[in-house]
Every structure is written in C-alpha cells, then in structure tokens.
Amino acid sequence: MSHKDVKEILCLGAGYVGGPTMAVIAEKCHDINVTVVDLNEDRIKAWNSDSLPVYEPGLDEMVKGRRGKNLHFKVASSELLASADMIFVSVNTPTKMYGQGAGRAADLRFWELAARDILKHAKSGTIIVEKSTVPVKTAEAISRILHSGTEGKQFSVLSNPEFLAEGTAIKDLLNPDRVLIGNEPGEEGKAAGEALANVYRRWVPTDRVLLTNVWSSELSKLVANAFLAQRVSSINSVSAICEATGADVSEISRAIGMDSRIGPKFLQAGVGFGGSCFKKDILNLSYICETFGLSEVAAYWRSVVDMNDYQMERFVKRIVEAQFNTVAGKKQALLGFAFKPDTNDTRETPALTVTRKLLEEKAKVVIHDPEALENAKWDLKDEQGDISYEPDVYKACEGAHSVIILTHWQEYRELDYERIFSAMEKPAFLFDGRLWLNPEKMHKIGFNYLGIGSSELMHI
C-alpha cells in the first residue's frame, strides 16, 4: 500500500479518547471510512444508541451526523483488523495494581493483547498508531511484538499521544494547539508519519503538526500532564498558606497569572485534580525515573501527587472542624461528582475521596451531579454508610447542614441560593471547593462561607 492513501481507519477502544477522536476524523475526512471497536459490547451498543456513553459538548451532533455514513461502532473482529490501512490503539492503560511496579507503573496488558491481535489478523504494511498514553519505549516493545510473527509481516508503529481535555474534547480536537507524531527512524517510519500527518493536515495547520522521534513523542505526553498537574499542586500548596495567614489565593492567582512568563491558566486553587490521566501519568513518569536510577527526579514528581492527596484531606478536615468537630448524622449535600464540568467522567474524582472521608465520619451524604450520577452510583456501590443520590439539586440541599461544591458546573453558579439557604438546617455552611461562588454574596444570604484558600466568612 502506498502510505499516501489511507482509506480505512480502525480504532481499538471506544472510550473517552477513541470515540471523540474518531468522530472528528470522520467529520473532517468524509472519504475515509472510520470504524471504532471495543471488546465491551455494551459500550458499542451505547455508541449506536441515542444515549452515547461519553458526554462531551458537541459530540452527540457530530456522531449522529456521521454514524452509518463513514463512522461505525462495532464489536472487535478479525475481519475489521484485516481490512484496516491504519489502526489506532486507544485502549486503557491504567496504573498497574499487581506485581512489579504495582501502584505506579502503567498496566500495558490491554495494549499487548491488542498488539497480538493485530499481528495475527492485520495485513502487512498496516500503520499502527499508539494513541493511548504509555511509558517511554512502549512503541519499541510493541514493535518487537508486531514483528515476532512467522509470516514476516511488517508494520510501522507511530506514537500519536492525545492532548484533548475532557469537557472540551471536540473543541480541542477541531483546533488543537499541536498534533504530535513520533515515527521510527528510516524511510518506512517517515512515510508512515507523513501518512498520519496528512490525515491531520486536512484541518490542522501544517505548522501545528509536529513530527519527532518516537521516544520524544511518548515522553512529551507524560511531561505535559506532569507540568499541568504540577501547576495545580503548586497553587493548592499556596491555598494552604493563604488559609493559615488570611491571604486570598484568588488574588494571588490573578496577580501572578498576569506575569506573561507564568500565564493565567491552571492557576485555580481547588479541592484537587482528578481524572484518569494526571495521577496515573505522573506515577508512571516517577516510576520510569526510578527504573533509570533517578530517585531525586522520581521523588520530585511524586510530590505533585502527594500534595493533591494532602489538599483533599485538608478540605475534609476543614469541613468537619467548622461544623463543631462532628458531621455524624448531619446531611452534607455534595454538588458535583464528575472530576470536572461538562463530562460524566468520575475516574479519580476528588468527590470520591471526599465522600469516603465524610462517610468515615458517619455523615449523611447526598450527591447531586447533572451528568455523572450513574457513574457516582457505580463508583460508590460497595461503600457502607448513609448515602443517597438526588437528581433535583434543591431537594439534595433540603435539610442539609452543609452544601459542598466539588465540581464547577455552570448551573451551580445559577442556582437560587436564597431558596437553598432557607430550606437548610441552621447554621448553614457552604464549602466552596472550586472557588465558584461569590463569597460576599453567599455570606450576605446567611451562609457561613468557607472557600479554599481564603479566610472564612462566618456568622457564628
């Protein structure tokens, strides 16, 4: 096959990355037939239904516009592997929970299984695109597996990490800051890199499509997430100083963010970062450092995760202390369970840690979220304690001793807080874990307002 004409794209993994990424390729390249497969039949059924398994603004319209035309969701099969020109591997790569590197290294068993399937069924010459976030040198290891067959099949392996952020996935995919493609050395590798670059160049300006070597590309993804998370942990560490001294972290964020060398993004203090990637990728980076004997570097990055854990702990401690050192039997209304707004993803959400800690304190926990209630129920199914789920936000807050903002959904800014306040137990507390509400306004309504990284506005 000439690498120039990619006509059939297959994606293994119909998750938060595979689904939206392939929808955008299908939208932008009507002449390419895009098929997304998964081992999970229920997930495929959901992608083919009216209610998609992933919530992202703009995704519904895009999928419904291309589905059945050049975008298909199917259960994985050998025929589909055999007919693809290019195979994206977008399977999950969670933190390994067993054996060597448990709790830190990436678990690549899904990736390896996918590679073995590819070797068995795909045709020689197929371009394999590593979309999952993986440790450095994974492409090399995968390449060895792919070339271990007896039939002499040849594959080119590219690294093409995904930088989309959940909640803005479609926007990010349509207008990425950059697309990174790492290719293996040699003519074949280069041609494969160009073939993928040509797909992206249909809608991404050429100067934003970067071609690098495979290892730089793989490492760039881990480093990008480590830097982003580090900024969050840095400002969160400052929020602790602010609470101790009476300074206000929002004012500090504004002041330092106006320094053009620092910039304003990712400087919002809060209850901590969540999501499936930051923690896993930093632990993975730290583990890689250790395996290369770089223990100081490993400890440096590890501390970003430690600070995040500390922040969640601190937040709950403040909630309990403010309510006269006990929340036992007191209704606590948690607003938001998704790890960020505009997604139903609850993986590693700080809300999960906060809920567990409040249940340990024997609180009565009620959870509201506009999109993530089903996932919350699933995540908490094995927890003991008084826990309920309420789709009506006003009912969730009725009779509560405290309202706790954990996700900065836009709708939480627009609630009738006077109505909420009047239906609560008194004294009523409002813990703003996302610095999402106007402190003075809330205090004026009657709440005892405690925001992360700012002094307390109390009536008692």
Strand (E) or helix (H) holding 277: none
Nearer to ligand NAD (CB atom), residue 174 or residue 457: 174
Residue 173 CB, nearest approach to ligand NAD (Å): 11
Q: What distances in angstroms separate CA 443 from CA 244, 249, 440, 449, one per listed residue?
A: 20, 18, 5, 6
Interface residue with ligand NAD among 6, 9, 10, 12 (CB under 6 A) is: 12
Strands (E), 144-208: 156-159, 179-183
Asked if residue 38 binds ligand NAD (CB under 6 A), the reply is: yes
Interface residue with ligand NAD among 3, 9, 15, 176 (CB under 6 A) is: 15
Residue whose pair of structure tokens reads 């797909």 in the numeric block: 199
Asked if residue 173 binds ligand NAD (CB under 6 A), the reply is: no
Query: Binders of ligand NAD among 374-393, rule CB under 6 A?
Result: none
Residue 208 CB, nearest approach to ligand NAD (Å): 17
Strand (E) or helix (H) holding 87: strand 86-89
Stretch that binds ligand NAD, among 12-20, 183-191, 301-309, 386-394 (CB under 6 A): 12-20
Asked if residue 39 binds ligand NAD (CB under 6 A), the reply is: yes
Tokens matching residue 204:
């991404």
Asked if residue 122 binds ligand NAD (CB under 6 A), the reply is: no
Q: Are 116 and 146 in contact (CB under 8 A)?
A: no
Nearer to ligand NAD (CB atom), residue 156 or residue 276: 276
Task: Report the distance separating Cα 248 and Cα 450, nearest Å.
Answer: 12
Residue 33 CB, nearest approach to ligand NAD (Å): 18
Stretch that binds ligand NAD, among 35-43, 59-67, 150-158, 412-420 (CB under 6 A): 35-43
Backbone angles phi, psi at 159, to 5 degrees: -105, 130
- Rg of the chain in Å (alpha carbons): 24
Interface residue with ligand NAD among 56, 62, 72, 93 (CB under 6 A) is: 93
Task: Report the distance separating Cα 260 and Cα 256, nearest Å.
Answer: 9
Stretch that binds ligand NAD, among 11-19, 247-255, 283-291, 361-369 (CB under 6 A): 11-19
Interface residue with ligand NAD among 3, 6, 13, 380 (CB under 6 A) is: 13
By DSSP bridging, strand 402-405 and strand 429-432 are parallel
Backbone angles phi, psi at 333, to 5 degrees: -95, 115
Of the candidates 24, 10, 279, the residue with the CA atom closest to the CA atom of residue 172: 24
CB atoms within 10 A of CB 322: 18
Asked if residue 277 binds ligand NAD (CB under 6 A), the reply is: yes
| Set 11, 277, 289, 397: catalytic member | 277
Of the candidates 320, 323, 328, 319, the residue with the CA atom closest to the CA atom of residue 433: 319
Asked if residue 110 binds ligand NAD (CB under 6 A), the reply is: yes
Residue 192 CB, nearest approach to ligand NAD (Å): 20
Nearer to ligand NAD (CB atom), residue 274 or residue 453: 274
Task: Report the distance separating Cα 356 and Cα 362, nearest Å.
Answer: 10
Nearer to ligand NAD (CB atom), residue 138 or residue 402: 138
Asked if residue 43 binds ligand NAD (CB under 6 A), the reply is: yes
Strand (E) or helix (H) holding 367: strand 364-368
Asked if residue 276 binds ligand NAD (CB under 6 A), the reply is: yes
Residue 176 CB, nearest approach to ligand NAD (Å): 12
Nearer to ligand NAD (CB atom), residue 122 or residue 164: 164
Strands (E), 13-84: 33-38, 71-75
Query: Binders of ligand NAD among 128-147, rule CB under 6 A?
Result: 132-133
Q: Are 28 and 202 in contact (CB under 8 A)?
A: yes
Interface residue with ligand NAD among 40, 48, 213, 237 (CB under 6 A) is: 40
Residue whose pair of structure tokens reads 């106007």 in the numeric block: 438
By DSSP bridging, strand 179-183 and strand 209-213 are parallel
Asked if residue 20 binds ligand NAD (CB under 6 A), the reply is: no
User: Active site includes 29?
Assistant: no
Interface residue with ligand NAD among 166, 172, 184, 371 (CB under 6 A) is: 166
Task: Report the distance separating Cα 298 and Cα 139, nearest Å.
Answer: 22
Interface residue with ligand NAD among 82, 97, 102, 113 (CB under 6 A) is: 113
Query: Binders of ligand NAD among 57-76, rule CB under 6 A?
Result: 76
Task: Report the distance separating Cα 90 and Cα 15, nearest Å.
Answer: 8
Give the binding site for ligand NAD (CB under 6 A). 12-18, 37-40, 43, 76, 90-93, 110, 113-114, 132-133, 162, 164, 166, 276-277
Catalytic residues, by residue number, are 277
